[in-house]
Amino acid sequence: MIALNKQFEIGFDDKGFTEKIASAISSFREVGKNFFSVKLLLSFIRNIRCLNHISYDTIRNLRIIIENHDTKCPDQHCVKCMSDIYGYVKSIRDNYFDIFNSISESRLLRFLKRDTENALSEWDDLAEDCAFICNPEFRAVVSRIMGKL
């Protein structure tokens, strides 16, 4: 015990040794911090790419659902389903816009900007189509025009 106490005391008295330990710990911390930062960044990039890819598939499927809506829905002139879809699409588009803004602000992620912008404009286009479809005034005036032809 005495010997251990002595060792302990010697260890703490030896400033060179404690400095070495402290610098080793801090360098481990730095490496750990950098490692996790890089890992976080890589996982963010992977997620954004995955999100863009999923976006195209989702938009394609949503367009199929929308185009076939009048044959599948019991009410041919139903606006409610389209209003629901418009609500979802609009919220996704708005969130995508936030993601796009965050990416645009970062120099490091600039290479993701083009893909994200393309996906955003696809969402925007779908939101515009849904807004047209669920607008009763648009449907009424176009139906009248088509009826007069």
Answer positive or negative: Cα dihedral of 84, 87, 90, 94: negative
- Contact with other proteins (CB under 8 A) among 40, 78, 92, 102: 78
We find the least distance from the C-beta atom of residue 83 to other proteins, in angstroms, to be: 12
How many residues of this chain interact with other proteins, rule: CB under 8 A? 33
* Residue 2 touches other proteins, criterion: CB under 8 A: no
By beta-carbon proximity to other proteins, the closer residue of 112 and 119 is 119
- Decide if 108 contacts 41 (C-beta within 8 A): yes
Helix 15-67 and helix 113-133, axial crossing angle in degrees, nearest 10: 30
Using the CB atoms, write b or e for 65-80: b if 16+ within 10 Å: ebeebeeeeeeeeeee
- Contact with other proteins (CB under 8 A) among 1, 2, 4, 145: 145
Backbone angles phi, psi at 51, to 5 degrees: -60, -45
Cβ-based neighbour number of residue 119 at 10 Å: 22
Between residue 90 and residue 129, which ones bind other proteins under the rule CB under 8 A?
A: 118, 121-122, 125, 127-129
We find the least distance from the C-beta atom of residue 62 to other proteins, in angstroms, to be: 11
DSSP letter, residue 68: T
What mask, x for binding other proteins by CB under 8 A, covers residues 32 to 71? -------------------------------x--xxxxx-
We find the least distance from the C-beta atom of residue 144 to other proteins, in angstroms, to be: 6
Closest CA relative to residue 113, chosen from 96, 128, 88, 89: 96
Where does this chain bind other proteins (CB under 8 A)?
Answer: 63, 66-70, 76-79, 82, 118, 121-122, 125, 127-129, 131-133, 135, 137-139, 141-146, 148-149
